[in-house]
Structure 1
Amino acid sequence: MTNLSRLPGAFDHHWDWQLHAACRGLDSSVFFHPPGERGGAHDAREEAARRICVGCPVRESCLRHALAVREPYGVWGGLTEDERHALLRRSGRASRSAA
């Protein structure tokens, strides 16, 4: 479940980027896998989501949001949940080693 305490609150300027997203109005099933999805169907769905994200004008804002709130599911900013988790893990290790 998403940790809502990390969300920025009800300030419209925090969410305006979503109005310009390439995925706006598309079926969310492209970005979020159904239960039990595996193999080729899973890979094809993720690739379709990435193709949408690659040209999105707000891709960086989307990814920043997903990382900030530790979004646990779906493709956000062109990265899957596993990729985001790995990125956060690497960044956490880097922060600890710098301290």
Structure 2
Amino acid sequence: MDIEPRLTLRWADHGACANSDPDLFFPLTWDGRPAPHTALARRICMSCPVRVPCLTWAVETGEPEGMWGGTTPDERRRMRSRRLKKTG
């Protein structure tokens, strides 16, 4: 697959969320229940051309807040935990 060099360095510029309300992706609380903003943010992420690098970045850096690559903070914590168990 041929990827434009700028895309690999500046994937966030190409995010489907770039022109969306930031409150959808960074709500004041994540209370564990599916909320309307979570579902809408996830739908935007699932159609995003840079969802994979976004999610990879959030998991690798331990991003503690927001919706990244269609995942909530709790979902990413579980992903990191599983990853550590596999390598540990």
Same fold (TM over 0.5): yes
Please report the TM-score for the alignment, with normalisation by the length of structure 1: 0.74
Unpaired runs of 5+ residues, structure 2, are 1-5
CA distance in 2, matches of 1:78, 1:91: 18
- State yes or no: 1:18 paired with 2:15: no
Amino acid at match of 1:31: F
Which of 75, 80, 84 matches 1:88? 80
- State yes or no: 1:28 paired with 2:22: yes
Q: For 1:89, what is the secondary structure of its paired residue?
A: helix
Partner deviation per Cα, 1:72-94 (whole Å, 9 max, x = no partner): 01110001100000000011011
Instruction: Give structure 1 regions of 4+ aligned residues with deviation exceeding 4 angstroms.
Output: 12-15, 37-40
CA distance in 2, matches of 1:15, 1:90: 27
1:32 shift after superposition:
1.0
1:25 shift after superposition:
2.2
Residue 68 to residue 45, structure 1, CA distance change in 2 (3 Å): same
Aligned residues: 83
Q: CA RMSD in A?
A: 2.1
CA distance in 2, matches of 1:13, 1:48: 25
In 1, are the aligned partners of 2:7 and 2:14 still within 8 Å (CA)?
no
CA distance in 2, matches of 1:93, 1:16: 31
Which of 53, 56, 75 matches 2:48? 56
Q: Percent identity?
A: 37
Which of 68, 73, 76 matches 2:68? 76
CA distance in 1, matches of 2:52, 2:43: 15
